[in-house]
Amino acid sequence: VFSKIFSHEALESYLPKIQLVIKDTLRAWSSNPEPINVYHEAQKLTFRMAIRVLLGFRIPDEELNRLFEVYQQFVENVFSLPVDLPFSGYRRGIRARETLQKGLEKAIQEKLQNTQGKDYADALDILIESGKEHGKELTMQELKDGTLELIFAAYATTASASTSLIMQLLKHPRVLEKLREELRSKGILHNGCICEGSLRLDNISSLHYLDCVIKEVLRLFTPISGGYRTVLQTFELDGFQIPKGWSVMYSIRDTHDTAPVFKDVDIFDPDRFGQGRSEDKDGRFHYLPFGGGVRTCLGKHLAKLFLKALAIELASTSRFELATRTFPKITLVPVVHPVDGLKVKFFGLDSNQNEILTGTDAMLGATV
């Protein structure tokens, strides 16, 4: 059922909505006179994308912001010790989940009652219809659980990868300019504007350098460290016997760091995935940012589409610069993110890629 949510047809219908959410967010970042904390704002962005695009909820901004704060409290306490005492992280997490589910139930009921003005089938629509196709009407609790699972899957890892993407574009301006060149050559970017109707799924798929950039971000800064699997039959690894039935964890980061196919593993080099080198093509499990095998991440195509849409908007309609002297240190737990936040100043641009003066600068410009 969940696989239908991430089909090619579903992604095609999500794309215009994803673009709209990203455009609105970048406009808000650019209008902020102060530098933004990219990781925190990226979390807001991916939460908004999940609510507005995946689930199709028409929640007012004020209520959406309140739900985001509650959701953060839920996520922060997911890995708490299961000790149900007052003021414990576990208790706070349980209360946050209860508040979230009340808000989600209200949104689901409103969605079921109001089907007017729908121009695409969102993930929740597909979930409900697929349940009916399988002869099972999903209960409200199942809908709330499925909704929360979709938000959770789209949240932290995508926010982490978005932050890493922005940081690498800041560190490597030549990569950003090469992205712009590709967008121009494909007729997507013209005179500082994205050409209307040019961003379709097939067009985005044809942007080979953009694909290399996203792949390299996910290789160097894989959002999650690894995954768990159950051993189906006893096997031997480096002289050690791993018995059937054991739970094992594979490390994505260590795999990327030690895989012999990657040269200069610590260097950000999107060209390693270009046609001339194709370092990810040798062997099945050297490159696995979304896991591997039959249980690879179901949402990987949506995640990559979101990152590509974000990169296109950043390269086309934004100017941004580091607001601190040095780049922040990176922590790996629970997902890759800057320890003290990545502080970045965004500037508004007009249609000719000229910086729009705001606030005091605008006043000084007018005076001059």
Binding residues: 297
Compute the distance between CA of residue 69 and CA of residue 16 in angstroms, rounded to an integer.
27
Compute the distance between CA of residue 115 and CA of residue 54 in angstroms, rounded to an integer.
16
Q: Closest by alpha carbon to 183, among 213, 161, 156, 163?
A: 213
Binding residues for heme: 297
Compute the distance between CA of residue 184 and CA of residue 180 in angstroms, rounded to an integer.
6
Q: Closest by alpha carbon to 30, among 289, 268, 269, 344?
A: 344
Please return the burial class of 151, using the count of CB atoms within 10 Å of its CB with bins 0-12, 13-18 and 19+. Answer: buried
Compute the distance between CA of residue 164 and CA of residue 161 in angstroms, rounded to an integer.
5
